[in-house]
Chain A
């Protein structure tokens, strides 16, 4: 079947019940989204489908035909980072980094839906994503900063 990932329509050969996460990582080489719990409890696998944050470890590709999937790789490049990536670099929000791609895309979904999201909104939205090495404060700061960058504040 065909999947639209980061603006490219790609043919994938995996079984329809295969979780998107495996297809992203194993078939498409997009390694930003991580396998954490496989149960939708940690958020490390979070990606965007039509602008909504979804757990890619729980989402069979069969339900994604014709929908726009985005991962951190689609938010910018190392050379030309997007505002979310820029903010996370600026705030040095990653420690081990395992949860960061999930945090970034979930914050991205919020800011696209609500460009003037407050810090409280951000904390509420990021609630499903866990970080266990303790950079929560930096992550929240980075998301707030990303909002500023998106609103054109330098």
Chain B
């Protein structure tokens, strides 16, 4: 079967299936799950179009490729394709008539799928509603005959082979990610001829005008991913301490909602393992990111400062009514926010009838939350590490007051 790769010639045609095909329900259901895992809809359904009837424009550096009609319509879709032809398309990127398919169809990934999974996908696709809709012409100027050469250089056929160094869950994840999931199609950079650079697998790529971030040690995620966080992210589109899905990935996650939890867990496990940084490095990156996040949160406190404090404290003591510029305040650099809380709440008030430094009391003016924000902001001004549990300290003092 693989011998045809050496030349640029197209492959032999496969005769259409003789009779309409029927499939057991379980096989169709399994295929449905796999189709969603592979996000088939993404390319094979146009906006507002019928499912799997094609027409979606996919912009490539070489021109626009339109997703094809893969409904079982005999004239315009893949109706009449036997499993053998479907399998060949998935594994070798050749259509039933023997023409090479452009690698916008990620057969370089699908080639890793098992016979069983391809058969299930086939059962699902062949039982979709047939839609009569002509395929749109691609605008890629590269002749299909050239694709034989491309494949001979870049297409490594062969079903996924489990890595004995890892357990079953990891291998399941690797199989789905490298195969039907074709995550690398977006997350791996491509060379000038549009092939994924395997020496920088998952180092970050492009997708429909979006950057698909690196999933390996170069991951730009401020907080490094864990299998648990990835699981939640892929399941729900949002995970604590991480940005929500957007762009093409939002669509992927939407499709993944049809996948089983076990498969999502496996995918998460495998993808997390791509980040090969040491646990210590990952912990350092996480802590630094959380520290920066605390500083950013402190910016909320800046709004309070600008309104309530700046008028005096931005003036400096040289001016009438002016007060100490706050980065110089000792209460800000202490190991605990307690003194600063007391000063802000109760002010600095000289004994009755005596002179002395004076600051108004802000108790009642600021809620506990606003005071907490303000304290975090003031602390950030000093460049010292954030105080821990500022909110708790504020609560303790304000409760004691009542």
Residues of A within 8 A of B (CB): 16-19, 37-41, 49-50, 52-55, 58-63, 67, 127-128
Contacts and interface: CB of A to CB of B under 8 A. Distances in A.
18 contacts: A17-B306, A17-B307, A39-B312, A41-B360, A50-B364, A53-B364, A59-B308, A59-B365, A60-B303, A60-B307, A62-B304, A63-B304, A63-B366, A63-B367, A63-B370, A127-B352, A128-B360, A128-B361
Contacts of B361: 128
A52 B365 CA distance: 8
Contacts of A19: 307
Interface in B28-65: none
Contacts of A53: 364
Contacts, number: 56
Q: DSSP class of A's interface residues: helix, strand, loop or mixed?
A: loop
Q: Top 9 A-B pairs ranked by shortest CB distance?
A: A60-B307, A52-B364, A40-B360, A17-B307, A54-B365, A17-B306, A63-B370, A39-B321, A59-B365
B303 A17 contact: yes
B146 interface: no
Given A60-B306, A60-B308, A127-B352, A41 B358 contact: yes
Contacts of A62: 303-304, 307
A39 B311 contact: yes
A49 B365 CA distance: 7
Interface string B347-373: 000001000001011111111001000
Contact of B304 (A37, A41, A60, A128): A60
Given A16-B303, A38-B311, A58-B311, A63 B360 contact: no
Interface in B360-398: 360-367, 370
Contacts of A54: 364-365
Nearest to B303: A62
Contact of A55 (B352, B360, B367): B360
A50 B363 CA distance: 12
B312 to A, nearest CB: 6
Contacts of A38: 311, 321
Query: Of residues B311, B364, B366, which shows the largest number of chain A Cβ atoms within 10 Å of its Cβ?
Result: B364
Contacts of B364: 49-50, 52-54
Nearest to B304: A63
B238 to A, nearest CB: 26
